[in-house]
Amino acid sequence: MSAEQLSATLTWTFNSPCEVPSDVSETLIDGEKALHAFKTIRDVAVFTNKRIIVRDAQGITGKKVETYSLPYSSIKMYSTENAGKILDFNSEVELWTIIGHIKILLGKKINIREFDKIISEAIL
C-alpha cells in the first residue's frame, strides 16, 4: 500500500438501520454474529461481534460489489460528533485504524449515542 493510499480518508454514509441481508450472513465465520445493519447509499454496512462489513455496489447496474472488512482489532481510536441544529444534517464518526482514517456520516435516522455505544462495545 502506498503512502498516498494510507493518507487518504475513506468515507461511508450510513442512512438508517436495516435488516441484515442473507448474503452477508452467509459469509460470517464460525462464532461470528451479525448485530446491527445500516443502509448505505447503495448497499449495507453490517456490524458483527468481530468486524464491520461494508458492501459497496459499483457501476451503473450495481452488479459489481466491493466488500470491505474492518476487524475491530485494527481500530486504534475513534471520535463521534453529533449533528448541529442548522444546516448540519449528519452526525460523524471517525475511526483511526492501523492502515488509515475512516469517516462515517450518519443520517438523521441513526441515533449518534446508540451508534457510539455500538462502537464502544465492539472495541473496548
Cβ atoms of 5 and 99 closer than 8 Å: no
Please write the tens of the pLDDT for every residue from 9-58: 788 899 999 999 888 888 999 999 999 999 988 889 999 999 999 988 77
The structural domains of the chain, ordered by start, are 3-123 (2.30.29.50)
Which pLDDT score, from 0 to 100, does residue 6 have?
A: 47
Please write the tens of the pLDDT for every residue from 71-95: 999 999 999 988 766 555 688 999 9
More confident residue, 121 or 60: 121
Q: What is the pTM of this model?
A: 0.83
Please write the tens of the pLDDT for every residue from 112-121: 889 899 999 9
Residue with cell 498516498: 4
